[in-house]
Structure 1
Amino acid sequence: MNKNKLLITVLIIAIIGVFVAYKMYNKPHVNVGSSKSDITLTANKIINDFSTDESKANITYLDKIIQVSGTVSKTEIVKEKGIISLETNDDFGNVLCHLSAEATQKINTLKKGQTVSVKGICTGYLMDVILVKCELIN
C-alpha cells in the first residue's frame, strides 16, 4: 500500500512539473516597447552598481525592464541583430543593448558620441551589462 501511495505522489508531482514547464516555455513574450520601465537610470549608474555589488544588482535589475541613457560608443550588426554599446566610466565594461528587429532597422541613424535612451530587459553582467529586446526611446 505504501508503494502505491509513493508511486501516485511521484506521478502527481511529475504531472505538475510538466504542466509548469509547459506554461513557462509557452508564456507570451513581453513587448518592451509598450511596457512601462521598472527602473530608469544612466549607463554609468548600472555598470557601477554591478561592478560594486553584483549580487545586490542582480536582485535589483535582473529580468526587469530597464531604461538606460548614455552615449553611443559603438554600433554593430551581428547575425542580423543590432547591438549598441553605451560607454561608461568603467575602463573595462559597457552597457550592451541587443536591439529588437524593429529597432535594428533604425541603427543606421545612430552616430558615435550621440546620447540615446534605450529600454530593454536586463539579463546580467559579464564585464558588460547586457540588455535584450531593446527599443530606442529617442
Structure 2
Amino acid sequence: MIRKTKIILINAVLIIILAVIFISVTVFNKPHTDVSENTPNFYLEATNVLEEFQDNETQANTKYLEQVLQITGTISELNITDEKGVISLSDNDSFGSVMCHIDAKENSKLTTLKVGQMITIKGICTGYLMDVVLVKCIILN
C-alpha cells in the first residue's frame, strides 16, 4: 500500500514539473510582435492620447496598454544615441509628450527628421510615466 502511494506521489510530482517546464518554454519563447506587420488598433493624434492618459490613466491603460497605436504629431525633441533613437511628440502647450522608442532597423530614417516636423509613427504602448511611452516604433512618414 505504501509503495502504491509513493508511485502515485512521484507521478503527480513529475506531471507538475513537466507542466511547469511546458508553460515556461511557451511563455518565454513567445515570438516578439513585429509592428510593421500589424494593423494598428488605434489611429490617434499625439495630443489626444496624451490628454487621455493625463485625464484618466487607469482607463487609458485599459484601452491602450500593449496595443499597436498609430500616432501623428509634431516632433518636439529628437534624441539619437549610438544605436537608439527616441522621438518625442507634443505641442508647446502640453506638459508631457508621447515618447517613441524607435526600432533599430529604422535608425537610417532618423537623420532626415527635424524638430517641428509632423510625423506618423506606429508602435506598442507600454504605459504612462509623465509621458506616454511607445516601443518598437516604426516611422511611417
RMSD of equivalent CA atoms: 1.9
Task: For 1:132 and 1:58, locate their aligned partners in 2 and report how far apart those are by CA, in whole Å.
Answer: 15
Does residue 122 in structure 1 map to residue 125 in structure 2?
yes
DSSP 3-state at the match of 1:50: helix
Task: For 1:74 and 1:58, locate their aligned partners in 2 and report how far apart those are by CA, in whole Å.
Answer: 24
Aligned to 1:84: 87
Aligned to 2:49: 46
Q: What's the offset of the Cα at 1:120?
A: 0.3
Q: 1:111/1:5 Cα in 2 relative to 1: closer, same or farther (>3 Å)? A: same
AA aligned to 2:120 is: S
Flag structure 2 segments of 5+ consecutive residues without an equivalent.
none
AA aligned to 1:28 is: P
Pick from 19, 31, 34 the counterpart of residue 34 of structure 2. 31
Q: What's the offset of the Cα at 1:46?
A: 1.1
Q: 1:84/1:15 Cα in 2 relative to 1: closer, same or farther (>3 Å)? A: same
Aligned to 2:116: 113
Flag structure 1 segments of 5+ consecutive residues without an equivalent.
none
Q: 1:10/1:123 Cα in 2 relative to 1: closer, same or farther (>3 Å)? A: farther
Aligned to 2:59: 56
Deviation beyond 4 Å, 4+ runs, structure 1: 1-11
Bigger strand share: 1
Aligned to 2:15: 12
Task: For 2:90 and 2:55, locate their aligned partners in 1 and report how far apart those are by CA, in whole Å.
Answer: 17
Task: For 2:42 and 2:58, locate their aligned partners in 1 and report how far apart those are by CA, in whole Å.
Answer: 17
Q: What's the offset of the Cα at 1:10?
A: 5.4
AA aligned to 2:20 is: G
Q: Spell out, residue by residue over 1:92-122, the C-alpha distance to the aligned partner (whole angstroms, 9 max, x if none).
A: x110000011212110111111000000000
Task: For 2:135 and 2:42, locate their aligned partners in 1 and report how far apart those are by CA, in whole Å.
Answer: 15
Q: 1:76/1:9 Cα in 2 relative to 1: closer, same or farther (>3 Å)? A: same
Residue identity over aligned pairs, in percent, reads 42
- Determine which structure has more spread, i.e. the larger CA radius of gyration: 2
DSSP 3-state at the match of 2:72: strand
Does residue 137 in structure 1 map to residue 140 in structure 2?
yes
Task: For 1:123 and 1:39, locate their aligned partners in 2 and report how far apart those are by CA, in whole Å.
Answer: 14
AA aligned to 1:24 is: V
Q: What's the offset of the Cα at 1:59?
A: 1.0
Task: For 2:130 and 2:103, locate their aligned partners in 1 and report how far apart those are by CA, in whole Å.
Answer: 22
